[in-house]
Amino acid sequence: MADDQKPQLNTAVVVVNFQTPDLLSNAVASFRSVYPAVLMLIVDNGSRDNSRKVIEGMQSRYAHTSALFLEKNIFHGPAMHRAAREVKSDFLFFLDSDTETRRGGFLEVMLKELQEEKNLYAIGRVNHVNKRGFPAEEGTAIVLSPYMMVKREIYFTLPPFEHRGMPTLGNFSAAQQRGWVVLDFPIQEYIEHKGRGTASLFGYGLGMRGKVEYLLNKIGL
């Protein structure tokens, strides 16, 4: 393999798909237009449409692109965790399927920050949420998962991403309790997150639990 065909940067890009192959195609194509030689893992979350065929086409079309096909939908957070177990890169960049990459240059900057700052765990667009994962001015600082980068080694010392409205909340809460830092980076200037692509079509799969969380947050508990 020639040098220019080797994977570039010490990171792996993770994209989770559940029955939105059109969105996925745009997300991958736009990302590959600026980063054609970065490792990418597409996790299909038990889709029952033509997603597998679309993803296999991407594997043929784009270099350094692999796929993990799950037998059933384990939901977004657990699928992100499975991906983290699957890849071996030191850094993981999570990219939602309902995104469109507008320009490159962000991976290099994010990697540099994570490599140079020993106490830094994650980088991306930072928001603050309360204990139930709803926006709060004073709360846990989280990096929004549609376009975030984390240190893989640190990730596995923390609670895994889970199935809930804010799948990264437990992970980031524990990280900050242990002294790890998250850094705000204007990733939205590079990548457009169209918003709730999969959730708007299929929901979060939380059932009564999601309604209870919403009501408890509404009354301030």
Higher-scoring residue by pLDDT: 79, 214: 79
**Average of pLDDT values for 128-136?**
76
pLDDT above 70 (res 212):
no
> Per-residue pLDDT for 58 more than 90?
yes
Question: By percentage, how much of the chain surpasses pLDDT 90?
Answer: 78
- Sign, Cα dihedral of 99, 104, 107, 110: negative
> Each residue of 40-55: pLDDT tens digit?
999 999 999 999 999 9
Mean pLDDT of the chain: 89
What average pLDDT score do residues 141-164 get?
96
Q: Is 91 helix (H, G, I), strand (E, B) or coil?
A: strand
Between CA 4 and CA 43 the distance in angstroms is 26
What are the C-alpha distances in Å from 107 to residues 118, 138, 209?
18, 29, 36
Burial of residue 100 (number of CB atoms within 10 Å: 0-12, 13-18, 19+): middle
What pLDDT score was predicted for residue 200? 52
In this predicted structure, the answer to whether residue 210 has a pLDDT above a threshold of 80 is no
User: If we measure between CA atoms, which residue out of 115, 103, 204, 191 comes closest to residue 146?
Assistant: 191
Q: Among 2-11, 174-183, 194-203, whose mean pLDDT is lowest?
A: 194-203
Query: Which residues have CB under 8 Å from 11's CB, separation 6+?
Result: 38, 39, 89, 90, 91, 92, 93, 107, 111, 149
Instruction: Compute the average pLDDT of residues 90-105.
Output: 97
pTM (2 d.p.): 0.87
d(CA 139, CA 131): 8
Region 140-164: what's the mean pLDDT? 96
> What confidence score (pLDDT) does residue 2 get?
41
Q: Which run of H or of E encompasses 25? A: helix 21-32
**129 pLDDT higher than 50:** yes
Is residue 113 within 8 A of residue 182, CB to CB? The reply is no
Instruction: Give domain 3-218's CATH architecture.
Output: Alpha-Beta Complex (3.90)
- For 153, counting Cβ atoms within 10 Å of its Cβ (0-12 exposed, 13-18 middle, 19+ buried), the class is exposed
pLDDT for 3 equals 42
pLDDT at residue 191 is higher than 70: yes
